[in-house]
Amino acid sequence: MENQLKDLAIALHDIGAVKFGEFITKVGLRTPVYFDLRIIIAYPQIMSKLAKVLWQLAKGRTDITQLCGVPYTALPLATLISAEYNIPMLIKRKEVKSYGTKKLIEGNFKQGDHCIIIEDVVTSGSSILETVCALKEEGLNVTEAFVVIDREQGGRKNLERKEIKMKSLYTVTKLMSYLLEDGKVTPEIVEDVANYLKSCQAPISSVQETIVHKRLQTRFSTRANLTKNAMASKLFHLMEAKQSTLCLAADLTKTDSILELADLAGPHIVVFKTHVDIIEDFTIDFLKRLKELAKKHEFLLMEDRKFGDIGNTVLLQYKKGIYKIAEWADLITAHPVAGASIVDGLKDALNGITEPRGIFLIAEMSAKNALTVGDYVQRAVSISKESDMVIGLVCQSDIIPDPGMLQLTPGVKLSNSNDDLGQQYNTPEIVVNSGADLAVVGRGITEAADRLAATLEYKQQLWTAYEKRLCN
Q: What is the per-residue DSSP string for 176-245?
A: HHHHHHTTSS-HHHHHHHHHHHHH--PPTTHHHHHHTT-GGGS-HHHHGGG-S-HHHHHHHHHHHHHT--
Yes or no: say if 227 and 404 are a contact pair by the CB < 8 Å rule: yes
Gap between the Cα atoms of 264 and 98, Å rounded: 20
- Tell me phi and psi for residue 394, to 5 degrees: -90, 115
**420 is annotated as an active-site residue:** no
**Would the annotation count 366 as a binding residue?**
yes
**Would the annotation count 251 as a binding residue?**
yes
**Would the annotation count 66 as a binding residue?**
no
Question: Could you give the 3-state DSSP secondary structure of residue 414?
Answer: coil
Which position among 113, 120, 150, 304 bears the catalytic label?
304
Q: What's the angle, vertex CA 356, arms to CA 353 and CA 358, rounded to 5?
A: 110
Which position among 7, 309, 388, 402 bears the catalytic label?
309
Gap between the Cα atoms of 397 and 433, Å rounded: 9
**450 is annotated as an active-site residue:** no
Gap between the Cα atoms of 261 and 451, Å rounded: 8
Helix (H) or strand (E) run with residue 380 in it: helix 375-384
- Tell me phi and psi for residue 433, to 5 degrees: -70, -20
Helices and strands, counts by H and E, the chain: 18, 18
**Would the annotation count 49 as a binding residue?**
no
C-alpha closest to that of 153 among 268, 60, 28, 247: 28
**Would the annotation count 266 as a binding residue?**
no
**Strands 165-171, 246-249: pairing kind:** unpaired
Yes or no: say if 251 and 411 are a contact pair by the CB < 8 Å rule: no
Yes or no: say if 297 and 452 are a contact pair by the CB < 8 Å rule: no
**Would the annotation count 273 as a binding residue?**
yes
Going along 6-104, which residue ranges are E strands? 18-24, 30-35, 66-69, 89-92
**304 is annotated as an active-site residue:** yes
State the Rg of the chain over Cα.
Answer: 25
Yes or no: say if 414 and 457 are a contact pair by the CB < 8 Å rule: yes
Identity of the amino acid at 168: S
Going along 222-307, which residue ranges are E strands? 246-249, 271-274, 300-307
Q: Residue 354: CB partners within 8 Å, gap ≥ 6?
A: 111, 139
Which position among 102, 306, 344, 402 bears the catalytic label?
306
Residues placed in the known binding site: 251, 273, 366, 423, 442-443
Q: Which residues are annotated as a binding site for substrate?
A: 251, 273, 366, 423, 442-443
Which residues are catalytically annotated?
304, 306, 309
